[in-house]
Every structure is written in structure tokens, then in C-alpha cells.
Chain A
Amino acid sequence: MNDERVADTPHVVVEDLVFRRGRKVIFDGLSLTVPRGRVTTVMGPSGTGKTTLLRLIGGQLRPDSGRIWVDGEEVARLSTRRLYALRKRMGMLFQTGALLTDMNVFENVAFPLREHTDLPEELIRNLVLMKLEAVGLRAARDLSPAQLSGGMARRVALARAIALDPDMILYDEPFAGLDPITMGQIVTLIQRTNRTLGLTSVLVTHDVVEAMDISDQVVLIAEGRVMDAGTVEHVRAGASAWSEQFLGGRPDGPVPFHYPGDSYRDDLMRGRESGND
């Protein structure tokens, strides 16, 4: 296959994905594609299984049915050895950073290099400093994870995620719980990393404004399926009532403010009747 054809194929394809946790159905026939070299954001309300989707793409969970292809390989069918080979080509940024607490910042970023390469120490040092410089934390290399703020931990985790120069990065809620300055830094980093390294980026988030700013494609999911998908303009312009409510942050609409149940009037009347008995 020549490079041009590879560039045209989607990086991730999810087809008719069904996934359950116990009796709860998380995904019910979910299908989506992630184009190569673009930023794709998967948005949806809390608890819709956005993080679960990333774990399914990374092969940490197996779908009950349906298929997921990453880089042309069906993730659930890969042997452990081939799955690990695929994971070397994908980085994942966890919401908490998930830094190894028994190592300092430098060692955390050096970790994948030490595990997967036999590079001389001097080269590892230079590579780590380059990655840390890219996220603005070269001078913080001797700090321990406990000394970092939430935003700094995420930046170190990003440096670690790009240490092996992956083709794709999965971001799990990269903006959650950050102050505006840190959020701006993370947004810029994601944008810059994607552009300069030509990566495919998959973000899952419910921070609409930040995500819309940097995305090439948006996928809105709820109730286990895709509600809307397309370019930012497309989703904004032709959005369904559900998407309009989600993107506009309106408290009531297709997703009701009140938890479904009997009518309010009937409930009150029942109380009155039982009081008369």
C-alpha cells in the first residue's frame, strides 16, 4: 500500500459496537470513523462511556459484539504481542495523568524509552529533555509527581505519551478540572502536537467550547449511540434537537430536567387521596 492510500484510510473505524457492563448497555450499535492526521472529538454527557470507548480502542476492553479497527488491524483479534506492538504506536493521556509515583518527572518520560529501546543513556536524556521542552516543563524534570499541579501532571503525561513518537494519541478528558490558564496551555499543546507531529488525535470530553475550537471532526454520543457526527460547522449548523441542547448547555429539552416518572399532578393527588382515607 503506498503512502497516499494509507493517508486516505481512516485511522480508527468502529462498527456496530455493542458493549455492556453487567446488565447496563453502554454502547448499542455505535459506529464512527476517525480520519488520519486530524483531531476528532467525542463528546457526550457524563456517564455515556466516553472513557470506555477509548479503552475499547486501546484494546483494554473487548466489545460484546461489533468490531474496532485501528490502523487496519482488528483490535479484539490481536494476540498480546501484536496488541502491544500496536500500542507502541498509540499514546494515551489519562485524565489524572497516571504518572508512575515512584519516579520523578524525568524518569516518567524516560520510562517508555527505557522499556522499549536500547538507546544509550545520553540519547535518552536528550530525547526526554526535548519532550519536556515541548510541554514547557524541562526545568521541572527533578520534581516528583506529588509536587506537580493537575495541569503540570497532564503535561508530563503528554510528554510521556509522545516519547515513542506515536501515530495517534487518545486524550481522556484533557480539560477536566483545570483553571483557565492551564486549560489554555493544554489546548495549545494538543493543537501544536497534532499539527507539528501530524498525529491523529482522539479527544473525549464534555467541555464543548475548548473542544470545538481545536477539532476537525466532532462525534456526539449519548444513550449508547452516535447522535450527530461531522465537521464542527456541520454539527453546529445541522444539529439535532438533542445536539442543540447539549452544545447550548440548555437544562431542559430532549434530555429532560426531571427524572422520568409519574406526572406531578397525579403524585400530589395520590397523597391527598391517601390522606382522606
Chain B
Amino acid sequence: MIEFLANLGRSGLHWLSVLGRASMFLFRVLRAQDAVVRRYRLTLAELYSVGVRSLLIIAVSGLFVGMVLGYQGYITLVKFGAAEALGGAVALSLVRELGPVVTALLFAGRAGSALTAEIGLMKTTEQLSAMEMMAVDPYRRVFAPRFFAGFLSMPLLAAIFSAVGVMGGYIVGVGLLGVDSGSYFSQMQAVTDWREDVVSGVIKSIVFGFVVTWIAIFQGFDAEPTSEGISRATTQTVVISALAVLGLDFILTGLMFT
């Protein structure tokens, strides 16, 4: 029993110290955000690497998720003679929940893991140290542009995911199952509230973007400078990000949709 409590305490202390280091790191990254504007070329390059390169996986996933929603939604709604409401059901599911959450999970797997591995490798090969010794602040040169790029890309990617998802639902619902095209879009317009649904979804995706990018960059920065260390950090980025996104989704949903 004592052993169990001691282990629990040790693990608690370990995670508290990680959280402390991560918070200090975030503070320094945020303080260096002026570099995002001053060094806009670096920021644009990172936006391309983090955002544009994630487009394909986000768009394809959005399409499939929308198609599945269209199909499943139709099966349920047709039982109640409400197949025309399909557009609203698909849009609400995407904008409120699936858009931000699935995009964040995919973003953690695609861009988050890449950020962790890149920064971890820069640390292992002493590139970050070399920058410091050349009087170049890695927080401004490396971390700030990447953080901003992740933070900005996430809501945009979530919006694209939802938009493509709506089209996926349309292809299945209207194209294959025969729902009326006009009803699909008019129902969508009627039930989707700008502030209640769209803005809430955007807030979620902003929070997820902030958290996932923070976790990814910090894991790379804090990685043990060995190949095992990088491998562990990359895995942790995906696992911790996924748990954080799902946990935060529950909290944000509770706060925003009560």
C-alpha cells in the first residue's frame, strides 16, 4: 500500500514538474510572438509546412466522415419521415463536434508528430545549441513561428474539414439516396445558428490548435536527445494530444452548449 502511494506521489510530482516546464516554455514562446510578424517569411514557410501540407488528409477524411454521416443520418431520419432534415443533421454534427475534434486528432498525428520529431532532432544534433551560441534565439527563430502556424492552421483546417464534410453528406444524401437538394441546404441554413454552432465550433478548434501545437513543440524541446527519446516524444505528442482534445471537448461542450 505504502509502495503504491509512493509511486503515485512520484508520478504526480513528475507530471507536475513536466507541467511546470511546459508552462515556462509556453510563456517564453508567447513572449517571442513578435517574431511572427517581424519574421513573416519564416511564419509563412511554417504555415505551408504545418497547414497546407495537412490539407490532403484533412480534406479526404472530411469527405469520408461527411459521407458516412449522410448515410447514417439518412437511415435514422427516414424512419421518422424526416429525411429532408439530413442537411441540418450533417452540418450540426460537423460544425459542433466532428470538425474540430477529428481535425485536431488528425492534426496531432500529421503535423504534431512532425513538429515534435523535427524539433527533437534539432535538439539531438545540437542545432538548437548552435543557434544559441550564434546569438540566435531559438524561441524566436524556431518555436514562435511554428507555434503560430499551428495555432492559425487548426481552425482553418477544421473549417475546411466541415465544408468538405457537408459536400460528402450531399454526395451520399442527395446524389445516392435521393434527398432533395434544396431541402438539404435550406434545412442546414435553418437549424445552424451562427453564434451557437459555428462560433462555438471555431472556439473549440482554436483551443485545440493552441493545445496540440503547444504539446507537440514542447515534447520536441523536452525530448531526451537520443533516437529512443525522439521516438518516445513523438508517441507522447499523439497520445497526450488525443487525450487532451477529447477531455477539453467534453469541458468546452459542457460550457458552451448548456
Q: Cα distance A58–B134 when bound, in Å?
A: 10
Tell me if A115 and B126 are in contact (CB < 8 A): no
Distance, CA A95 to CA B133, complexed state (A): 14
**Contact residues in B for A101 (Cβ distance below 8 Å):** 121-122, 125, 127
Contacts of A99 in B (CB 8 A): 127, 130
Q: A96-B125, A98-B125, A101-B125 are in contact. Are A116 and B130 (CB under 8 A)?
A: no
- Neighbouring B residues of A84 by C-beta, 8 Å: 135, 137
Q: Does B132 contact A (CB under 8 A)?
A: yes
Residues of chain A contacted by B132 (CB below 8 angstroms): 58, 60, 87
Main secondary structure of the interface of B (DSSP, over half): helix
Q: How large is the interface on B (under 10, 10 to 19, 20 to 34, 35 or more residues)?
A: 10 to 19
Choose one: B129, B135, B137, B141; the contact of A94 (CB below 8 Å).
Answer: B129
Cβ-neighbour of A111 out of B133, B134, B137 (below 8 A):
B134
- Whether the pair A115, B127 counts as a contact (CB closer than 8 A) is no
Bound-state CA distance A92–B134 (Å) is 8
Interface flag for A85 (CB, 8 Å): yes
C-alpha spacing A237/B41, complex, angstroms: 59
Q: What number of residue pairs across chains A and B have CB atoms under 8 A from each other?
A: 54
* Complex CA–CA separation, A112 to B141 (angstroms): 12
B133 pairs with A85, CB closer than 8 A: no
The smallest C-beta distance from B144 to any residue of chain A, in angstroms, reads 14
From 184 to 204 in chain B, residues with beta carbon under 8 angstroms from any chain A beta carbon are: none
- Residues of chain B within 8 A of A116, CB atoms compared: 135
Minimum C-beta distance from B125 to chain A (A) = 6
Tell which of B121, B125, B129, B136 touches A60, judged by Cβ atoms closer than 8 Å: B129
Q: Are B135 and A96 in contact (CB under 8 A)?
A: no
Judge whether A112 and B136 touch: CB under 8 Å. Answer: yes
Check A92 against B133 for contact (C-beta < 8 Å): yes
Q: Which residue of A lies closest to B121 (CB)?
A: A101
Q: Are A98 and B126 in contact (CB under 8 A)?
A: yes
Since A60-B129, A88-B134, A91-B133 are in contact, a sample of 7 more A-B pairs with Cβ atoms closer than 8 Å, ordered by chain A residue number, is A87-B135, A91-B134, A92-B130, A100-B131, A111-B134, A115-B134, A160-B134
Q: Which 3 A-B pairs have the closest CB atoms?
A: A98-B130, A98-B126, A84-B135
Interchain residue pairs with CB less than 8 A apart (9): A60-B129, A87-B132, A87-B134, A91-B133, A91-B134, A98-B127, A100-B127, A100-B130, A115-B141
